[in-house]
């Protein structure tokens, strides 16, 4: 059976991005109001878990590091198009396979344009 995200009346406009890892599938659901929810789907495909909600002021995306193959979440402030706080996030999972819920946002701004 398919696992469904909780329904909302605007869901047809939601954008979903997924990243497969050795500890299951992580989903980013960007909603119509531009808020984002991170979900984790475990190995048994039935344990869909809401990990974290992000406000509309943050842009969230996945990056898979080329050499280490680890996946990071990137978080940028939406209201600053040419400067962003690079979120130095912990990897999405801990060594025991649980999703990482803690993170630290860099406290300095990096002057690098976003393309």
Which residues are CB-neighbours of 8 under 8 A, at least 6 positions away?
14, 31
Per-residue pLDDT at 5: 64
pTM, full prediction: 0.58
| Average per-residue pLDDT for the chain | 64
What's 108's DSSP letter?
S
**Rounded CA gap, 110 and 85, in Å?**
7
> 29-64, pLDDT tens digit by residue?
888 788 888 888 876 666 788 888 888 877 777 777
Q: What percent of the chain has pLDDT over 70?
A: 41
**The pLDDT of residue 113 is above 60:** no
- Return the SS3 of 11: helix
Per-residue pLDDT at 100: 46
What is the arithmetic mean of pLDDT over 103-111? 38
| CB 31 within 8 Å of CB 14 | yes
**The pLDDT of residue 92 is above 50:** no
**The pLDDT of residue 27 is above 50:** yes
Which residues are CB-neighbours of 52 under 8 A, at least 6 positions away?
37, 38, 101
Per-residue pLDDT at 70: 66
Identify which has the larger pLDDT, 96 or 37. 37
**In the 3-class helix/strand/coil scheme, how is 40-98 assigned residue by residue?**
EECCCCCCEEEEEEECCCEEEEEEECCCCCCEEEEEEECCCCCCECCCCCCCCECCCCC
């Amino acid at each position: 059976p398919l696992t469904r995200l909780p329904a909302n009346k605007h869901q047809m406009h939601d954008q979903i991005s997924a990243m497969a890892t050795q500890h299951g599938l992580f989903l980013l659901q960007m909603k119509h109001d531009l808020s984002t929810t991170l979900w984790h789907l475990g190995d048994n495909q039935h344990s869909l878990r809401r990990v974290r909600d992000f406000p509309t002021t943050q842009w969230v995306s996945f990056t898979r590091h080329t050499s280490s193959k680890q996946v990071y979440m990137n978080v940028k402030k939406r209201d600053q198009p040419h400067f962003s706080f690079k979120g130095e996030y912990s990897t999405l999972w801990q060594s025991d396979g649980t999703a990482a819920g803690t993170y630290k946002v860099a406290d300095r701004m990096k002057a690098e344009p976003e393309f």
